[in-house]
Amino acid sequence: MLVTLTTDFGASGRYVAQLKGVLYSRAPGVTVVDLSHGIAPQDIAAAARLLEAAATYWPAWTVHLAVVDPGVGTDRAIVAIEALGQRFVGPDNGLFGWLVGRVEGCVALSRERLALAGDSSTFHGRDLMAPAVAMLLKGSPLSELGTPHPALRTLPDGVAPQVDSEQIEGHIVEIDRYGNLITDIYQRLLGDAPRDERLRVLIGEHETYGLWRTYGEHPPQTLFALVGSDGFVEVALVNGSAAEMLLARVGDTVRLDWRDREV
């Protein structure tokens, strides 16, 4: 029985310590593994990217619990999902938008069925989501946890990459220590797009063609794009810093298109 945790609870440790206590109490024998508690406060998109990159590497039926929840106290649903042979629990606020179209089952957790003591709690991760995770681990089907939840929320355009028929518009979300530009465009979004030089990659007024799998085989100071080993499109400069060359910053737009082009 495996559970992963992804939260923005950060450093103090009290919230994570309580959450884990409940999981170990309600699901004896469970193994709880931290994916990250260092998600920036309320950065739903960053948590979604981490889950997207990691989930399918985990054993079948692992439960991924994600608590990045700026809407606590509002009426946003808390959901349990079956998708990709994995299970997910967390608020329906865009965290799981990348699963849309691949969901095998999804329910909104019912406070009544999960036997919460009233409505007073301000820590749904501990008092509602963790008990739901424990029920899943003990074999409860989704239908015991709540009622069908037909449509997951996606991240708004401008936050999530926007995918059109022959174009994807994403963003730089991280600049690594080598000056490589990491985008939020996960390889799955590429679909049938060509990987060769018919694909154009635009960063501001700069462009490069094709997606590569490794950092090798380009002359020094060449700008090129690749699918990084964690599955996201990156832009790099051979023996240099793409960030410095392009004066690029986190948040800048990166566009891939493959319209009207021949090789």
Q: Which is nearer to its own copies, 62 or 183 (CB)?
A: 62
> Under the criterion CB under 8 A, does residue 1 sit at the interface with its own copies?
no
> Under the criterion CB under 8 A, does residue 84 sit at the interface with its own copies?
no
Helix residue spans in 14-105 (DSSP H): 14-26, 44-54
Of these, 121, 140, 167, 187, which contacts its own copies (CB under 8 A)? 121
> Under the criterion CB under 8 A, does residue 214 sit at the interface with its own copies?
yes
d(CA 118, CA 92): 21
- What dihedral do alpha carbons 96, 43, 2, 116 form, nearest 10°? -80
- Which residues ranging from 129 to 148 are in contact with its own copies (CB under 8 A)? none
> Under the criterion CB under 8 A, does residue 53 sit at the interface with its own copies?
yes
Least Å distance, CB 127 to its own copies, is 8
- Please identify, among the stretches 49-57, 105-113, 140-148, 193-201, the one whose residues bind its own copies according to the rule CB under 8 A: 49-57
Q: How many CA atoms lie within 13 A of 45 on its CB side?
A: 17
> Under the criterion CB under 8 A, does residue 32 sit at the interface with its own copies?
yes
> Under the criterion CB under 8 A, does residue 122 sit at the interface with its own copies?
yes
> Under the criterion CB under 8 A, does residue 209 sit at the interface with its own copies?
no
For residue 95, give Cα distances in angstroms to 66, 68, 79, 153, 223. 8, 8, 11, 8, 32
Nearest to 37 by CA among 20, 24, 52: 20
Show Cβ contacts of residue 134 under 8 Å, excluding neighbours closer than 6 positions.
Answer: 22, 23, 26, 27, 30
d(CA 200, CA 232): 16
Of these, 3, 45, 50, 63, which contacts its own copies (CB under 8 A)? 50
Q: Contact positions toward its own copies, by CB under 8 A?
A: 2, 4, 11-18, 20-22, 24-25, 28, 31-33, 35-36, 38, 41, 49-50, 53-59, 62, 73, 120-123, 126, 174, 177, 213-216, 228-230
